[in-house]
Structure 1
Amino acid sequence: MGANKTSKENDEVVKSFNADYKQKFVSCDNEATNDGLFSKLNENDRISSTIFLRVPVRVTVLLLLIALLFIYTMYIEFNLPSHDTASFDTSEEINIESGVALKVDKVVSCYYNTPSPGPTPQLRPSAIHPHLCTHINVAFAQIRNKEIYLDNEQYESLTQVVLLKRMNPNLKILLSIGGAGNDTGFPNMVINHASRKTFIKSVKTVLRTYGLDGIDLDWEFPMVNVDINIYKRQRQHFSQLLREIRMEYIRENRDYLLTMAAAAPETIVDVAYDVDQINLYVDYVNVMTYDFHAFSKYTPFTGLNSPLYHRSMEQMFLATLNINYTVHMYLNKGLDRSKIVVGIPTYGHTFTLVNANNGQVGSPAAGYGTLGGLGFVNYPDICKFIAKFRSEVVIELDPDAKVPYLHKELEWISYDTPHSAMEKANYIKEQNLRGAMIYSLNADDYEGVCDEEVEGSLKFPLAMSVKHALADKVKSN
């Protein structure tokens, strides 16, 4: 729980947590103990063995079935990685494209959105460097009928991402469930113990089937945009869900990871989460420290997507919309430093200025910008825009917030660069936090277009900059 824990000490903390809470959880939850989601499997195995011994006339057929089962088991063993050895220790020694070896003890948690059907070029799992991230969250599965639902495209992508573990056995693969939107299935699933138990059974099945290292819950957000009279206990139910998932991990002696994505604005945190309860049950929290400012009818002015600090002229509520305030707010509410993972975006927010001659932060805006869509623009598209209008684009760095913005005529964009991403990673190290979260690999420059004039240009420059900055050791090969 302290600020200076090593990875080995973190392992001891997890083991201690398991020992301290296992008896408590099992004794205080008779219903879950009696049901024992997986004890029935052992009973069925014993029954099957008895039937086998009492029906000798079917020995030949059964031996054939056993042989087929053995072949299938070997296929699974050699084609899907084991999850039983999943570790909270993320130390690794890697070689990257630049020829530099990095040892990273921090979490670098990268979200990967699975491709959607269609001819549009999209990031494929095979293009992801297996050593780029310590953890990859494959996003986003939904919840249907209280169970995890994956469509065909998500299934294919998930299985391909898992194969990256062949090239980097230390890589952790998690399935992220939920995402933005109101139809994620969380409200109906968390509402009572029976429905949560159905979901947890589904979780265990998915973890085993795909050889995953854990799950990431991204409910946006408990108690927000709902009728308080109907869902007045969503935040409590969410805490109960986290507890019950952790309890199942402990009961089955599994070291699967349990993480979650959480809002950054304090106005949401105060109604959506019991932070002290979250701190007990999750391995870490991916804090979404971005989207602090975006165009809307309520905020018709330019603003910074993911500022590290508040600007000197910002007061009251506006002064809370930054990474530094969010980190200390979570610390004050009871989240350990070792469980805070700071979100770093690979996309920007666009605005259309009212006056082309007024391009500062906080200038009046008439709507979204023309680049990208709905106010969002990926980093490589920003690079192309700068390259195309190089002499006309004005790029400025906010000295307080430590992030850049640009404008050209009426187009105004807040975004991150490799330099600003490294600033945030250095902040993470200085504050001794658990690590960084990248959202997302899809919006990073995965084709290397931002540096096309350089032979062998670096791909994923934002994520790679974070990885470099978080490295404990950098040495020449």
Structure 2
Amino acid sequence: MNTKHSRFEQYLPHSTAVQRLRLDPLFSLVLGLSKAPDRNPVTEQIPSSRMGKALLLTVSLLLLQHVSMVSPETLMCYYLPVDQGADGRGRIDPGDIDPCLCSHLVYFDKYMTKYVVDWKDNLSYKKFNDLKNKNKNLKTLFSYEGTRYGLARFLRGASLQPPPKYMYSIIAFLRKNNFDGLDLNWNYPAYFPIDAKDTLLFTYLVKGLREAFNAEAETYGKDRLLLTAKLGAYNLDVGRTYNVASISKDLDFISVITYNLAGDWSSKTEHHSALHRGSAHHDNGIRNVEAYMKKWTDQGAPAEKLLVGMPTFAITFTLKTSQEGLGAPISGPGKAGSSSRSPGFLTFREVCPLWKGANIYSNDDQVAVFAVKDNQWIGYDDWNSFRKKANWLQEKKFGGAMVSALNDDDFSGTECKQGNYPLIRILKNILHVNAECEQSG
């Protein structure tokens, strides 16, 4: 008996021979880095007279699937169930989220354990997914965060048990809690170097998840679970960090972290999410949204699968001199906010009250907005910059926008006096998201 096949069947009942043959080599690649087979045992079993028809049918189904899941009106919004601040003002009960605001909602708990077998049910999952009762078109995803644990520990978690069981554990968790898919919130390579082995492992991890999702959907006649990723690259070196052409085939969307392009490592004031380089940009030309998105398409990512990251927060600096513009000397990060309590960071909710008495600047060629109050330099996005970015991404035919995060916008409408979610509603309206939904206002 082939123990590998029987072990897979033990955890995923009614698996077909085709599914076994397709999945097993993949799992060995993920965990053992064995050489990929030169021959395809699945297609070799199909008579040549039928292979052309089978291939045509497969391509047709994939095209239909692609059209149904990728839309120029995608707005993927991250929800943080645990308030990141100290005073509780950033917490939103999942049942209070506007179900009409975004096309996809992502449940992102950065404190979730790294081992899939330890993922526990949570009452807030039900509240979160019950939002679909109010909007039948809404898709929800569960996000697994990689920054705290890194790629090696993620894969080590997979190796604690037979790989098919590991994949099935993810599927069972998502199905039981009524999520529509999994999001790999892979911030890790954005802040730390990544070697070639990690790049390969991540590629096969994505491929393994997609194959498992395909097999589960085919076996039980269900809609396939979505697979997305929120990705950044160390030093913005996309080509060395990811096999973009490969993962783009297996991911439904890639949310690009086109923010945090400046921070506590900066030596002078610079905007962390400027759209263009502009004449006043003080870097090597890549730390802006336009240049960074081009790196992804140059590496082979289809534009329609890329979501442009939109921050609902500010990156701040403490000025060293009386200069206030871009490129001004700084002494370090800005002061922590009263709610977020994190130096160099303010939520948009915290930015609005600071406008009174501040000097506000808008650099039009970069599409960069910043305010200066006392010695605090605050780089953020407002509704005008969001509007320009949304129009730009439509012109470039990207798949849509990703927002990080719901909690950082003025979700109650009390701080900015522009209604609830003033930033995200700009994107919703321009991208025509859930136009038939009535709740958002």
TM-score normalised by the shorter chain: which range applies?
Answer: 0.7 to 0.9
- Match of 1:422, SS state, is helix
Alignment of 1:224-243 (within 5 A): 225=192, 233-243=197-207
Alignment of 1:209-358 (within 5 A): 209-222=176-189, 225=192, 233-252=197-216, 253=218, 254-263=223-232, 267-296=236-265, 299-314=266-281, 318-355=284-321, 357-358=322-323
For 1:106 and 1:411, the matched residues in 2 are separated by 36
Cα pair 2:191 2:233 within 8 Å, conserved: no
How far residue 470 of structure 1 moved from its aligned partner, in angstroms, is 1.2
For 1:136 and 1:42, the matched residues in 2 are separated by 32
How far residue 194 of structure 1 moved from its aligned partner, in angstroms, is 4.3
How far residue 472 of structure 1 moved from its aligned partner, in angstroms, is 8.1
Give unmatched runs, 5+ long, in structure 1. Answer: 1-29, 44-85, 92-103
Aligned to 1:204: 171
Cα pair 1:141 1:148 within 8 Å, conserved: no
Aligned AA for 1:239? T
Alignment of 1:161-176 (within 5 A): 161-176=128-143
Alignment of 1:286-435 (within 5 A): 286-296=255-265, 299-314=266-281, 318-355=284-321, 357-372=322-337, 373-386=342-355, 390=356, 392-435=357-400
Aligned to 1:461: 422
TM-score (structure 2 length as normaliser): 0.77
For 1:345 and 1:179, the matched residues in 2 are separated by 19
Change (3 A) 1:129 1:366: same
For 1:145 and 1:473, the matched residues in 2 are separated by 34
Alignment of 1:116-195 (within 5 A): 116=83, 120-121=88-89, 122-140=91-109, 144=113, 146-147=115-116, 149-150=118-119, 155-181=122-148, 183=149, 186-190=151-155, 194=159
- Match of 1:350, SS state, is strand
Aligned to 2:46: none
For 2:157 and 2:173, the matched residues in 1 are separated by 21
Change (3 A) 1:190 1:417: same
Aligned AA for 1:243? K
Give the paired residue count: 375
Change (3 A) 1:280 1:125: same
Change (3 A) 1:326 1:226: closer
Aligned to 2:36: none
How far residue 31 of structure 1 moved from its aligned partner, in angstroms, is 8.2
Aligned AA for 1:206? F
How far residue 380 of structure 1 moved from its aligned partner, in angstroms, is 1.3
Aligned AA for 1:319? G
For 1:124 and 1:395, the matched residues in 2 are separated by 33
Aligned to 1:56: none
How far residue 188 of structure 1 moved from its aligned partner, in angstroms, is 2.6
For 1:399 and 1:40, the matched residues in 2 are separated by 55
How far residue 190 of structure 1 moved from its aligned partner, in angstroms, is 2.2
How far residue 282 of structure 1 moved from its aligned partner, in angstroms, is 0.4
What is the RMSD of the two structures over their aligned residues, measured on CA atoms?
A: 3.1
Change (3 A) 1:90 1:249: closer
For 1:427 and 1:461, the matched residues in 2 are separated by 19
Cα pair 1:141 1:150 within 8 Å, conserved: no
How far residue 469 of structure 1 moved from its aligned partner, in angstroms, is 1.3
For 1:472 and 1:443, the matched residues in 2 are separated by 20
Cα pair 2:103 2:137 within 8 Å, conserved: yes
Aligned AA for 1:250? N
For 1:431 and 1:90, the matched residues in 2 are separated by 19
Aligned to 1:75: none
Change (3 A) 1:408 1:227: closer
Report the identity percentage. Answer: 25
Cα pair 2:190 2:234 within 8 Å, conserved: no
How far residue 199 of structure 1 moved from its aligned partner, in angstroms, is 3.4
Change (3 A) 1:377 1:144: closer
For 1:120 and 1:33, the matched residues in 2 are separated by 50
Aligned AA for 1:120? G
Aligned AA for 1:260? A
- Match of 1:341, SS state, is strand
Change (3 A) 1:148 1:406: farther
Give unmatched runs, 5+ long, in structure 2. Answer: 16-64
For 2:191 and 2:316, the matched residues in 1 are separated by 26
- Match of 2:273, SS state, is coil
Corresponding position: 1:437 with 2:405: no
How far residue 328 of structure 1 moved from its aligned partner, in angstroms, is 1.2
